Amino acid sequence: MGFKMGIVGMPNVGKSTLFNALTRTAAAQAANFPFCTIEPNVGEVAVPDARLDRLAAIAGSKQIIPTRMTFVDIAGLVRGASKGEGLGNQFLANIRECDAIAHVLRCFEDGDITHVEGRIDPIADAETIETELMLADMESIERRIAGLARKIKGGDKELLDQDRLLKAALAMLNEGKPARTVQVAEDDLRTWRLLQLLTSKPVLYVCNVEEAKAAAGNSQSDRVAKMAAEQGAASVIISARIEEEISQLAADEAAMFLEEMGLHEAGLDRLIKAGYALLGLQTYFTVGPKEARAWTITKGTLAPQAAGVIHGDFEKGFIRSETIAYDDYVAGNGESGAKEAGKFRVEGKTYEVKDGDVLHFLFNA
């Protein structure tokens, strides 16, 4: 299980440049005019995790298979997108299919790159996009509630739940708040996700700053960080131009370049870590002589469901999982050493998988 993150924002804020860097491709045309991205560009990237390389080295694995993350570069939204302005309706549909939104905000000055509204104000940009998504949600919800009114007379519980949650979301939107601020009970989560409301998506603000400010940010990114904190959201600082340069370098050259810029890690790493935290994701590993592989699951996933990420039959016929924590596997220099140190555990169906666990599943075929 990976996840899909939509990259959104106003035109000319650096979305396509960031996408190019993240996916190490020039598939998304970065040009200085609105709507240069006519179709959503989709790219899969390997999730960097130094632990996987370490495990593979210890086990002598012939192949290393990281987990993957999908980015969708969605063309620039403008004021009025909810009513079809620009290429609005198409883009709103693309956003609906994503698990989370990376909202790229222009936090740099550059007279050579025009702003569609003629000013540099990341907070106003964020509010414009949020407003358009909220208006689109309100229109969609009102239409769906009207449709449900004819169907719920029979007392179908699922339809009644949908109606109740849609009305709760509409009430919040009418107060000027996004749907993600609705308090959803555990029992309603599945139905809530199926509603696919645009403003129910978790949001990560990506502050695109000038190269010289890539390490510490600037006054504009400080404003965004404050706004994100007030919303209970997250923000990261990235220079899309630096990321694009790094993506063209060999690994050792990229490391030297990052060090010269005062950066500890590439923006891709920071963005993925923030995305994982945003969606409550974590990684477990399967390790052997043939391959070392990373798997993504949500925090709180039990062992049978974690096994099901590999194959549905693993979950159906789950018997137990043989488990070693990452640190214990490394300290023991592999499975044998971990066993000798008493760090090898057998866990059953109620075991909650931890980040970094090295697992081997036993199941009935």
Residues 243 and 319 in one domain: no
In a domain, 63, yes or no: yes
Residues 249 and 306 in one domain: no
The pLDDT value given to residue 35: 37
Give kind and range of the element (H or E) at residue 57: helix 50-59
Q: Looking at the 3D structure of the chain, how many domains does it have?
A: 2
Consecutive 10-residue runs of the chain (365 residues): their mean pLDDT? 80 83 54 42 82 96 90 69 50 81 88 61 91 90 90 83 95 94 93 92 93 90 94 90 85 86 83 85 96 94 96 93 97 96 96 97 88
Give φ, ψ of 2 to 5 degrees.
Answer: -105, -160
Q: Is 240 within 8 Å of 13 (Cβ atoms)?
A: no
Residues 94 and 155 in one domain: yes
Residues 255 and 304 in one domain: no
Beta partners for residue 103, in sequence order: 8, 205
Q: Is 244 within 8 Å of 20 (Cβ atoms)?
A: yes
- State pTM to two decimals: 0.81
In a domain, 287, yes or no: no
The pLDDT value given to residue 261: 84
Q: Is 260 left (phi over 0), alpha (psi -120 to 50) or beta?
A: alpha
Residues 173 and 39 in one domain: yes
Residues 118 and 195 in one domain: yes
- CATH at residue 82: 3.40.50.300
- Residue 309 structural domain: 300-363
Residues 218 and 324 in one domain: no
The pLDDT value given to residue 30: 41
Question: What is the Cα–Cα distance from 304 to 321, expressed in whole angstroms?
Answer: 8
Residues 70 and 152 in one domain: yes
Residues 305 and 270 in one domain: no
The pLDDT value given to residue 338: 96
Q: In terms of Cα–Cα distance, which of 335, 206, 359, 174 is closest to 278? A: 206
